Structures are given as C-alpha cells and as structure tokens.
Structure 1
Amino acid sequence: MTTTTDTVKPLTAEQAELALILTGDFHGPWGAGLNEIAERRHTVIDTAELERLRKAARRLHLFEEWANEGYAPALVFDDDGRWAVSFTSASPVPPDGGFTDTEQISVLVEPHEWHDSVNAAIDAAQKEEGQ
C-alpha cells in the first residue's frame, strides 16, 4: 500500500518558505514551525537556510506586532526599485466592518527610510522602532 508521504516529493527550501508564509504555520518562537514543515514533507533544510527562513518569518510578523501596538505600518515601493517602511500616514477612519469602496491613503516617507530591498527596509524600521 502506498501512503501519501510516499508519493509527495520533498519541498525545496523556497517552497517550504512559501508554505510557511501562506499558511502562517509558525507554532511557537518565530519560525519554529519550519522544523515541523520540514519534518512533515521530509525536507532537508540546513542550519543557515533555517535561520534565513526564521528571519523572513519574523519580518512578516513584525507588521502584525506593530499594528497590535497601535502603529499603522506601510510597506511602500517607489517604482525605482527602492522600498520603505513608514509609520506616518493619513487615511479616513474606517467604518465598522471596514472600507467597502476604494479609499485614498497618503504615506509620508523620509529620505533615510528608502532602501534597496524589502528586507533592508524592514530591518531598518525594526531598528528604528527598537525591536
């Protein structure tokens, strides 16, 4: 008899990362769910790759942490290849149940907040916020 695990091909590290991001399967300290994903899918992820994936998971969840602390973080791209995380924005107050129409939100970005990658922008915002 063939079981499901016998017919499932192992995930690549990129597929495991995508699965983690899409499912929010974190279980415990940041990115600990990666070990479970790897074990379930028989994926071998070396220590350096596992640490990179944990950092990616942590960056993603920083936005939820900031929002829970009362901030309104915005990840912005400038069409010139640069990224920024801004905590300065203006938007209408959403009605109960959220917006149902298109709304305009203005985001202010200081020159020092622009970075060449998403990761660099998030890391800089994290340092600035002292986390």
Structure 2
Amino acid sequence: MWPSAAPPAADPLLSWELADVAELPRMRAQVRRAVAASIDPDVLDQLILALDEMASNALRHGGGKVEAAVRLTDTGYLIVVSDAAAAQPPTPAVDRDPSEGGLGLYLIARMALRHGWYAGNAVKHVWALLPRT
C-alpha cells in the first residue's frame, strides 16, 4: 500500500519541527493562513487532513524528533513527514474496527496522486502528493 519510493522534486513552502501532538493546531492554522487565498476550500481541507494525520502518526509511533513540510510541485502539494523510526514502514491498520481509528493512511493513499516512503541516515520519510485541484 505504501511503496518504497523517493518523492518528486518540489519547492519548499512550509516546514515544522514537532515534538508533541499539542503543536498540530498551530501547524494547521499556519497552513490555512499560507494557502487559503490560493486554494479551493475542499483541497485545503484535504491538505490539512493528510498533513495532520501523517504528522500525528509520526509523533505517536515514530519516536524522536518529527519534521513535517509542505512543498509545491507543478501538479500538487507534497507533504513530507520524517521521524526516527527508519526501520518501520508506514503500516495501514488491518482488520481493525473503523471506530478504533487507524484508517488515516488508507484515506491519504486514496486522496493522493502518488505516495510513498523511504529511509536514510536513521530517518524515515513518509510522503504524499495531493492534487492542487
């Protein structure tokens, strides 16, 4: 479901160093301020949902410092989230009741044009390219 692959080239837009899920509301607000005027509201909601889900997964399961970024490509918004769990690929929940959560990776994969992950220098990078429209 989450292939091992490098992300496409992209230009920086926003980035964060995160240590706690309590920082996620600030991150979401910064995304809204930065791109709300230039993006369809539904696309903005998808971008924030995917970024929030990926960052919260990294904070809960990745161990250590988490870095999150939104970058721009010609076709979309590239979300990249890095954590210290280089040996643990992103793993969608299997055979779990939806009321227990764990379905965020499935949702992101369905919204994304492409998605993947790779590891290097003891860091895991999980990424998703969401369309601009």
| TM-score normalised by structure 1 residue count | 0.33
For normalisation by structure 2, the TM-score amounts to 0.33
Q: Identify, as 1 or 2, the structure richer in strand.
A: 2
Structure of larger gyration radius: 1
